[in-house]
Structure 1
């Protein structure tokens, strides 16, 4: 991906977090994903009035919020206009093991990384209801420009983007490249601060920031771990899309007609 395309992909709206356009990737039959159709981001609670107006100017008709209720309560979406779809209540793995190791004095850099990686490696079945719902929206005849997001726009959002791009025929290398753009456009220090606040509130006395970094960043191994989880559940990504998410050959034709050009 060239620098100009990368810059076009990122939308630096005032207060937006990791907001990106999925357009421009080469998909099925050499056609490209249309710009201005599907967007991904982190939460929008900090968007200014000007940023919200910029967002509305993109023509987005629906915002799909993957976050859990407590996340939405802490950082509500202020944007008025698009329909907010927030019944996903998705989570990837559990942080309980992190707390167990932390309070038992058994945490390490590698263990923290492995905990996040294992969450990706074991979530293919867990995310099916949410992603099936998202795809059903993308297939609707009245579907306009769509934005989907979680908190940071990296884990739940990153896997959703990977599945959409896969369904559109984008190759795995480009999909991983898209996933890794979060390292460029997301300020992980913000998430680090939130995690440290939670640690203090939970009574933690001591930790190393390097233990938190795996929870704040993105690594190719994470997304590859998700694809491993998909293969373990369904055999391969195509069967996962069809059997678990309801995206077979006919549905992929509809998606291609709607979101590819050229």
Structure 2
């Protein structure tokens, strides 16, 4: 439904995958998310001089990183301009869920959609990283524009984007369109990953991994389902998980929406 709008917000950078402005997306009350406030991407390690020049013009106040320390040490985020950097691991620092925290051979050989769905189911509940993200959103004047990201900008960032967009009143249908867009914007990234997987698995096993690792509706649905299963309503979730009251939510909306 919003795919054309979503594609227009992809910034064609040279060394950074999947960089997009979350602005321009329509909310259920007919307003739109303002451009230039919320950005999402893969990691920034490959940033070129041209990329830096382009990103500096965004005047980011904050880069928020969902990765663990090992990932961030291996592929550090360079400084763009004068922005602050914060990092809190979505999957914890205890090497339990993120791909880089597993032995690659084990990861590719044991990957299953059921296991991946379970990772998504756990992500939005009692998660220190998203609690900090939403705490930052409560003070938009100080913390926006923000860029939030993980390794590929698809799984952990996808759940973070869902939380931000739903808080602003975007429909789950549109949020799902935005989530699945990473299958288009990350085609090269995925091909690189599949080439690595082919060193460890082949035939049907490789095909199963390639099909299962692409983003699917059922993955994000697992996160959304976990929220409603635990809290019944998204508003209750915002209040109990993040201390965002209805008044806070309206104030955030008024800052981030136009029209």
TM-score, structure 2 as length reference:
0.85
Structure 1 residues 47, 215: CA separation in 2 closer, same or farther (over 3 Å shift)? farther
The Cα of 1:166 is off from its aligned counterpart by: 0.5
Whole-Å separation in 1 of the counterparts to 2:13 and 2:30: 31
Partner of 1:30: 30
Partner of 1:72: 72
Provide the residue aligned with 1:94 in structure 2: 97
State the Cα distance separating 1:56 from its structure 2 match.
1.0
Q: Indicate whether 1:13 and 2:13 are aligned.
A: yes
**Equivalent pairs, count:** 247
Which is worse superposed, 183-192 or 207-216?
207-216
Deviations 1:57-102, CA, capped at 9 Å, x for gaps: 1221211011100000111112332434333022286279xx89x8
Specify every segment of 5 or more residues in structure 1 that has no aligned partner in the other structure, as ranges.
none
1:106-255 maps to which residues of 2 (within 5 A)? 112-127=112-127, 129-140=128-139, 141-187=141-187, 188-193=190-195, 196=197, 206-207=201-202, 208-213=205-210, 216-255=213-252
Structure 2 gaps, min length 5? none
* Change in 2 beyond 3 A, CA 1:60/1:193: farther
- The question of whether the paired residues in 2 share the 8 Å contact of 1:67 and 1:86 is answered with no
Q: Deviations over 1:4-37 (max 9, x none)?
A: 5233211111111111111112225321110111
Q: Is the alpha carbon distance of 1:250 and 1:36 closer, same or farther for their aligned partners in structure 2, counting shifts above 3 Å?
A: same
Question: Is the contact between residue 60 and residue 145 of structure 1 (CA under 8 Å) also seen in structure 2?
Answer: yes
Q: Per the alignment, in what secondary structure is the counterpart of residue 44 of structure 1?
A: coil
Decide whether aligned partners of structure 1 residues 181 and 82 sit closer, same or farther in structure 2, where only a CA change above 3 A counts: farther
1:230-259 CA-to-partner distances (Å, cap 9, x unmatched) read 122222322111110222201111211110
Partner Cα separation in structure 2 for residue 182 and residue 89 of structure 1: 21
CA contact (8 A) 1:191 1:216 kept: no
Question: 1:45 — aligned with what?
Answer: 45
**Pair 193,86 (structure 1): closer, same or farther in 2 beyond 3 Å:** farther
When normalised by structure 1's length, the TM-score is 0.84
Residue by residue over 1:133-160, the C-alpha shift from the partner in whole angstroms, topping out at 9 and shown as x without a partner, is 1122122232331100000101110011
